[in-house]
Chain A
Amino acid sequence: MNRSFVARNPSVLIFLALLALFTLGVTILSEGFGVGMVSTSFVKTLGKTLCLCLVAVAMDLIWGYAGILSLGHFAFFGLGGYMIGMWLMYERTRLIVVDALAQGQLPPTPQEVVDGIGNQIFGVVGSSDFPVIWSFADSLTLQLAMVVLVPGLLALVFGWLAFRSRVTGVYLSILTQAMTLALALYLFQNDSGLRGNNGLSGLQNLPGVNASQDVVSMWFFWASALALGLGYLLAAWVVSGKFGSVIRGIRDNEARVRFLGYSVEAYKLAMFTLTACIAAIAGALYYPQAGIINPAEIAPIASIYLAVWVAIGGRGRLYGAVIGAAVVSLLSTWFTGGQAPDVPLGFYTIKWVDWWLVLLGLSFVGVTLFAPQGIGGLFDLISDRLRPNRHGADLGPDQGSLREKEAQQ
């Protein structure tokens, strides 16, 4: 128990080393800084995948460790993207507007600049006034703070309401789903102040930076890798100690933890908010690489996919979440991008663009049924750590899912 943190968690060290190697490899192969074997668009895909891995880590924390199946974490992911997107869009438009106004004979007044930006950004929804929520959009520092604060606050308020009333299990899942649906529907309105279903666009351009996308995409790739590394480390640290014991205890037997004197609600709330913040940071790094964010991104289905990734990767182990997110999202890109070869059956040709979701859905059912440990479970086999078939074997983190109890049902 007194060994160092890393010594107790060798997987963390292995993971960080692999991540560093991967980053280095991509850098060497990239167009911006290396031999150009990896195209810039693929670097972006990889960078986005790293962000998805980070949000999957957050999902694993809240679901795999704390046992709360949140179907709303993509709401925080998207909100993070919106917050950074506001600054990116504002600042880029500002530069364009200032340039344009400088062509005039008189130097522009501040009001003219603001009006010009407003017209550029909100013309598409038939408005030109800045909504209140854009008050801080001119300041990178404040807007960066909002990346964490806004989703964090939403998670705090929602979590407080939900946990306080002791909503658990599938009820809570549905409630989180309702939350993300409500947010998406709200953002879909033109008068939400975030450009309705147009969303924010042009986010791939860093204002004031003249470097090419080859270079900028690598910056974001590094930032994503760093964020994933730090996030992973934080997550591993959080779940390693007594805090980890308590949240796993909450997952397995909430009442017992409560009667030990721990305020279950406070722990859940802390985890919910923490993971929301991690998700938001992941989103803030993801959307500049995607270039565009709109409310469809936070539709309930996105959050469910997040759960799918984590489940396929293997819950309750952080590297499982990362593997799941990386494998499924990359495979998904491959299949839906039309790169996968069609399968001619003679009477029918299977086009993966059409059939990928069917395959994903069914393989997901298969994983749930036959491999509850997910892909991560393979590592137990490889490292010969397959635990003997004994009492109390973990079938997954659901409350009351331990084999022992199930036998008594």
Chain B
Amino acid sequence: MSTLLEVSGVSVSFDGFRAINNLSFRIADAEMRAVIGPNGAGKTTFMDIVTGKTKPDEGRVLWGEKSVSLLKMSEAKIAQAGVGRKFQKPTVFEDQSVQENLLMALKKPRGWLPVLSYRPSEEDLAKVATLADDIGLGDALLRKSGELSHGQKQWLEIGILLAQEPRLLLVDEPAAGMTPEEREKTTDILVEAAKTRAVVVVEHDMEFVRRLNCKVTVLHEGSVLAEGSLDHVTSNQDVIDVYLGR
């Protein structure tokens, strides 16, 4: 499997506080990866760096077969290159319908001129409908997304991500605030997605991570503490000391 994303030697500090410290990380195509770590370990900042929101002080972030540097690209360009991101809090466009949310995310030209003249084709509508079915919102297509429940919004956001057809999905705590049934469904959606693309899940919930059944990276104080299967890292003494043991 070829490397899709390679982060190497990245550091970033805010007002003297080192949020990320010489972090290196790589993920291949069609791989599922869980990132865990205590609060303040730099999980969200790591995502910020990959998606271009935060520029690191040093280090490299390379993308794809051609090893393009993501550091020089804007957030929008990175997203167009195929990095999708889901926020910790569900962020969907609450004022707009599920259908509009998904249509906006569909992989289409992103420039303002083509968008201005864009009118959805039958094919696009069908695609949106299928997607909505996948995330369990098939009968809520025309409802305003603000009316959805918390869990539904999380799925809608995942749906939005999938509609983008990204090659890498960054998912921040997808299961937060979900009922057990909803969690199960979320797991299914993510596992399904990881068959065709790389998925990085940041999660606190060990149970959830276990169910994802994938390689785990443990972050601590801005750098990688351990990496491997969940069983492997949970038996690691360092991990127990800084994270599990507390």
Contacts and interface: CB of A to CB of B under 8 A. Distances in A.
Given A253-B91, A402-B146, 19 more contacts: A2-B125, A242-B104, A242-B115, A242-B118, A245-B96, A248-B93, A249-B96, A249-B104, A252-B93, A252-B94, A253-B93, A255-B87, A258-B76, A258-B79, A261-B76, A262-B76, A264-B76, A266-B112, A392-B146
Nearest to B120: A1
Contacts of B147: 390-392
A261 B96 contact: no
16 contacts: A241-B116, A243-B116, A249-B93, A252-B94, A256-B91, A258-B75, A258-B76, A258-B79, A259-B51, A259-B79, A259-B84, A261-B110, A263-B111, A392-B146, A392-B147, A394-B95
B144 interface: yes
Interface in A258-272: 258-264, 266-267, 270
B103 A245 contact: yes
Contact of A390 (B76, B99, B100, B146): B146
Q: Provide the main secondary structure of the chain A interface.
A: helix
B27 interface: no
A241 B118 contact: yes
A319 to B, nearest CB: 18
A238 interface: yes
Contacts of A241: 115-116, 118-119
A246 interface: yes
A262 to B, nearest CB: 5
A242 B103 contact: yes
A345 B148 CA distance: 54
Nearest to B76: A263
Contacts of B85: 259
B95 to A, nearest CB: 6
A35 interface: no
Interface string A370-409: 0000000000000000000011111000000010100000
A243 B91 contact: no
B146 A261 contact: no
A242 B120 contact: yes
B110 A262 contact: yes
B95 A252 contact: yes
A385 B85 CA distance: 36
Contact of A260 (B53, B79, B99, B125): B79
Chain B CB within 10 Å, residue with most, of A253, A270, A391: A391
Interface residues of B, number: 39
A256 B119 contact: no
Contacts of A238: 116
Interface in B156-197: 160, 164
Interface residues of A, number: 31
A256 B104 CA distance: 11
Interface string A168-185: 000000000000000000
B30 interface: no
Contacts of B88: none
Contacts of A270: 112
Contacts of A402: 94-95, 146
B148 to A, nearest CB: 8
A3 to B, nearest CB: 11
Contacts of B144: 392
B122 to A, nearest CB: 8
Interface in A277-329: none
Nearest to A403: B146
B105 interface: yes
Nearest to B148: A391
Nearest to B149: A391
Nearest to B83: A259
Chain A CB within 10 Å, residue with most, of B100, B105, B112, B118: B112
B80 interface: yes
Given A245-B93, A256-B87, A261 B80 contact: yes
Nearest to B94: A392
A253 B93 CA distance: 7
B74 interface: yes
Contacts of A267: 112
A246 B105 CA distance: 10
Chain A CB within 10 Å, residue with most, of B51, B77, B103, B116: B116
Interface string A214-254: 00000000000000000000000010011101101100110
B145 interface: yes
Nearest to B108: A242
Contacts of B103: 242, 245
Nearest to A249: B93
Interface in B106-129: 110-112, 115-116, 118-120, 122, 125
A357 B225 CA distance: 65
Contacts of B92: 256
A238 B112 CA distance: 11
A267 B112 CA distance: 6
